[in-house]
């Protein structure tokens, strides 16, 4: 008698990281989260379906990777809630960008979503150890994301102007250097506020150099901090 094959749940697609579990997350994003409306951009939803979020968290948390929730990634930081990532990406994609800059690489997940959408991605992270892990993930997934270890409050002027800039950590006010590195018609999405109350702001740079600003809704992000750590 032939030995019975014992497949791991993962191998037959029944695991907590299976395509079915990812599809369920996408349906939740389509319906909208408690703090905002549904995600309608099909390309963004497809990126969420495709990028393996469980590879951006510690193995011990992999089973929770497709819940619509932020999760710890060490060093007191978090991988953002999928709905927030999708919303920020949707806002950015509306500007039909080519080159985008992200401040706060963290796990690398937001950058990977942008890369999956075919964008030219630049990302800056102040914590060296987080950046090293994110770079490993980009490499493992064959993603061409340019990254830099620096205090992202200075942006990345060498590659400016950007069609879009995403800030994934909250500051009390918009950072002037980042607005300067935005091209005409470019969009900046950033959480602004303190620890207890933050709003997601969208700023669009006009041809006359001025900016149009609107508030997208309440969000919760870790703080944008000064300086770098190894």
| Residue 107 engages ligand SAH in binding (rule: CB under 6 A) | yes
Question: DSSP code of 150?
Answer: S
Element (H, E) at 114: helix 109-116
Least separation in angstroms between CB 28 and ligand SAH: 18
Instruction: Out of 57, 62, 103, 219, point to the residue binding ligand SAH (CB under 6 A).
Output: 103
224 interacts with ligand SAH by CB under 6 A: yes
- Phi-psi domain of 30 (left: phi exceeds 0; alpha: psi -120 through 50; beta: other): alpha
| 61 versus 225: smaller Cβ distance to ligand SAH | 225
Per DSSP, the residues of 116-160 read HTT-EEEEEESBHHHHHHHHHHHHHTT--EEEEES-GGG--GGGP
- The answer to whether 80 contacts ligand SAH (rule: CB under 6 A) is yes
Q: Which is nearer to ligand SAH, 110 or 198 (CB)?
A: 110
Q: Which of 18, 80, 196, 199 is catalytic?
A: 80
CB atoms within 10 A of CB 215: 10
| Encoded tokens for 168 | 């994934």
The length of the chain is 230
Q: Does residue 130 touch ligand SAH according to CB under 6 A?
A: yes
- Which region among 32-40, 139-147, 199-207, 218-226 touches ligand SAH (by CB under 6 A)? 218-226
Three-class DSSP category at 221 = coil
> Binding pattern to ligand SAH, positions 133-172, x when CB under 6 A?
------------------xxx--------------xx---
* Closer Cβ to ligand SAH, 20 or 136, answer by number: 136
- Measured at CB, which residue is nearest to ligand SAH? 106
Closest to 216 in 3D by CA, of 76, 41, 35: 35
Of 180, 179, 174, 177, the residue nearest 199 (C-alpha): 174
Name the site residues for ligand SAH (rule: CB under 6 A): 77-80, 103-104, 106-107, 109-110, 124-127, 130, 151-153, 168-169, 222, 224-225
């Amino acid at each position: 008698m032939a030995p019975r094959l014992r497949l791991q749940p993962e191998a037959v697609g029944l695991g907590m990281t299976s395509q079915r579990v990812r599809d369920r997350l996408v349906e939740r994003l389509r319906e909208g989260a408690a703090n905002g409306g549904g995600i309608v951009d099909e390309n963004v939803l497809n990126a969420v379906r495709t990028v393996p979020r469980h590879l951006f968290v510690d193995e011990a948390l992999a089973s929770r990777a497709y819940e619509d929730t932020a999760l710890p990634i060490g060093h007191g930081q978090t991988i953002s809630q999928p709905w927030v990532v999708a919303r920020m990406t949707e806002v950015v994609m509306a500007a039909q960008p080519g080159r985008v800059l992200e401040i706060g690489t963290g796990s690398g997940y937001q950058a990977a979503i942008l890369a999956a959408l075919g964008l030219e991605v630049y990302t800056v992270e102040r914590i060296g150890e987080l950046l090293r892990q994110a770079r490993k993930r980009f490499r493992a997934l064959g993603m061409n994301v340019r990254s830099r270890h620096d205090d992202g409050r200075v942006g990345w002027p060498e590659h400016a102007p950007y069609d879009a800039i995403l800030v994934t950590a909250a500051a009390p006010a918009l950072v002037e250097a980042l607005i300067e590195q935005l091209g005409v018609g470019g969009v900046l999405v950033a959480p602004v506020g303190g620890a207890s109350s933050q709003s997601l702001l969208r700023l669009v740079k006009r041809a006359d150099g001025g900016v149009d600003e609107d508030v997208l809704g309440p969000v919760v992000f870790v703080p944008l901090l000064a300086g770098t750590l190894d």
